[in-house]
Chain A
Amino acid sequence: MAAAAPPRLLRSSLVHLGATSVRLVAGVGRMTRFGGCILLALVRPPLRARKLMREVYDTGVLSLAIVGASGLAVGMVLGLQGYNTLVRFGAESSLGAVVGLTLIRELGPVLTALLVAGRAGSAATAEIGAMVATEQIDGLRMMSIDPVHFVAMPKAIALAAVMPLLSGIFIVLSVAGGYLVGVNLLGLDGGAYMSSLENAVEFSDDVAGSLLKSWIFGMLVGLVATYRGYSSAPNAAGVSRATTSTVVTSSVCILLFDYVITSLWGF
C-alpha cells in the first residue's frame, strides 16, 4: 500500500527549511571567501598605513566615549549587585574578585564587541554600502584598484586591532565603577577590594584569554561589517538592510563564538 503523501503544509515547510539552509550555507561560504580575500589583501602591498590609521581613529577613538561610559555603568551595577549578593554570605570582601573575573573573562569582551558592532560595525557597513550604491566601488575597479584592498581590508583590520584595546579600557573603567560603588558608596575596604581582585586574576589564563576573545570578536565584526556592506543591494533599502543585518549577525556570532571559545579553551 502506498504511503500517504505528506500534508501540503509540512511539505512546504520542509522545502522552505531546505532553501533557507542552502542560502545560509552559501552565505557563510561567500563570507569565508571574502575573509580570505581580506587576508590576501593584508599581505599584498601597498600597506595603506594612512588609511589604516584613519580607520583606527574612526572605529577606535570615536568609540571611546560610548565604551567608557558603558564600562563605568556596568561596573557600578556589578558592584552594587555583587555586594548585595555577597553580603548575604559574609563574603563581601570578595567583591573585587567577583567584579574583576566577571568582567575580564566574560562581560568585558562580549559587551565591548556588541557596542562596537552597533557603532563602528554598522557605520562601516553603511559607508561601504553607500559606496556600492553610488558606484564608487565600480569606480575603483575601473581604476584597476582592488576595492577589497582599498576599502574593506583597512576597515576589517582596524576593527580587529582596536577591539582588544577598547575591551581593556571597558574592563578598567568597569573595575573602577565597581570600586566606586563598593568602596566609596557601600563602605567596603579599598585594600580588600583590590587585593581580592589581584589574587583572583591570573594574567596568562584570564587577561590573555580575554584579549584573545576580543581579538576574535573584532575579526568577526570586521568581517561581517565589510562583507554585508560589500554585498548590499545598490540602493537605499539595500544599505539599510545591510546595516541592520550587520548588527544582528555580529551580535549572534559574538554570543555563539563566546560559548565556543569558552568551552574549547576555558577562557
Chain B
Amino acid sequence: MRAAPSATRLQEVGDSLTAGADPSARGGQDGGAAGSAASGAAPAVHVALRDIHLSYGSRVIMDGLSCAFPRGCISVLMGGSGSGKSTTLRLIAGLTRPDAGSVCVAGRELVGIDAEGLREVRQRIGMLFQNGALLDSMTVFDNVALPLREHTASSADQIAAEVHRRLEAVALHDIDDLLPGELSGGMLKRAALARAIILDPDILLCDEPFSGLDPPNVLRIEALLTRMCRDLGLTVIVTSHDVATSRRMADQVTILFRDGAVSGSPRDLVMRRDPRIGAFLGVGADGGADAARVEVG
C-alpha cells in the first residue's frame, strides 16, 4: 500500500485555478521546452520509444517510430487520423505491446516486462482516456475514490476529503452521487482527469483532452495541466488536434508521420519551414510571418 497522496500539492494548483488564474500567465509558452528547459539545461528524457514497429493484421501502424518525451514538460502529440497518436499513448501505458522496438518509461523497459513490473510502472502513470472511461456502474465519487481505495490505506474521511479536493481542482462540485451517464461531455472529462491525478502520478497521458469541450473548459483543463506540470514537475503527454492550445501549452510538439516522427519546440518546428509540419501547426510555407504569429499564440 502506498501512502495517501499529499493533500497540499494539488490543493495549491486547485486554489490557483479557482482563484481565476489564466493559463496564458505561464511564461515562455512558445520558447522551447519551458519548464526545466527555461533554466538552460535540456530536460532529462522521461519516456522514450525506439524503433517501434506495430501492425494490426496487414495494416502497418508504426514502422520504426522513435521519439522521446522530456521529464517535467508538456509534450503534445500531433498527426493525421490513424497516424498512431492514441497508440503511442497506449504503448507508453503498456496497454499495447509493439511487434518490435523498445518502450522505456522512467528508466524501465516495458517490452517483456512481467505483470508485477507493469503494475508498478502504471502506478506512476495517470491516463485520461478519450471518452473518460469512467466506470458507468459507479458514481462519480466512487470512480474518483477507486484508486485510493485500492492502493492506499486511507480512511473513509481522508478519501472523501481527497476526492473533493481533486474534483474542486477540476471545477466540479456537487456531483458526487451522479453516474457518469448523467454528466455532460466536459464534466465527464474533468471527472476522469480528477481520477487520473488522484494518486499523484509522475506521468500524465491525456488522449484528446480538449475534444468536445467548450472554450472555457478548454482553458480550464489547459491551465490545470500547465500548472500541474510547472508546480508538481509532472510529465504530461497530450494528443491533440487543437493547434492554438498545443502552441500555447506545449514545451515540445511531436508530429507523427508515416515515415517517422518530428519533435521540437513549436517555434523550432515552425522555423524549419517544412510544409508537412506547417500543415499541423497551422502555418504556411512562408515561415517568417507565420513564426511571428506562433509567438503571439
Contact = CB atoms under 8 A, between A and B. Distances in A.
A139 B134 contact: yes
Interface of A: 127, 131, 134-136, 138-145
Given A144-B150, A145-B146, A145-B150, A139 B135 contact: yes
Nearest to B147: A143
A38 B95 CA distance: 20
Chain B interface: which size bin?
20 to 34
Interface in B84-103: 90, 93, 95
26 contacts: A127-B137, A134-B133, A135-B129, A135-B130, A135-B133, A136-B134, A138-B90, A138-B93, A138-B95, A138-B129, A138-B133, A139-B133, A139-B134, A139-B135, A141-B122, A142-B122, A142-B126, A142-B127, A143-B146, A143-B147, A143-B151, A143-B195, A144-B123, A144-B151, A145-B146, A145-B147
Contacts, number: 46
Contacts of B90: 138
Contacts of A134: 131, 133, 136
B140 to A, nearest CB: 14
Contacts of B95: 138, 141-142
Nearest to A135: B133
Interface string B8-39: 00000000000000000000000000000000
B238 interface: no
Contacts of B146: 143, 145
Given A136-B136, A143-B122, A143-B195, 16 more contacts: A134-B133, A135-B129, A135-B130, A136-B134, A138-B129, A139-B127, A139-B135, A141-B122, A142-B93, A142-B95, A142-B125, A143-B146, A143-B150, A144-B119, A144-B122, A145-B150
Interface of B: 90, 93, 95, 119, 122-123, 125-127, 129-131, 133-137, 146-147, 150-151, 195
Contacts of A140: 135
Counting chain B CB atoms within 10 Å of each CB, which of A135, A140, A142, A144 scores highest? A142
A135 B127 CA distance: 11
Contacts of A139: 127, 129, 133-135
Nearest to A133: B131
Contacts of A138: 90, 93, 95, 129, 133
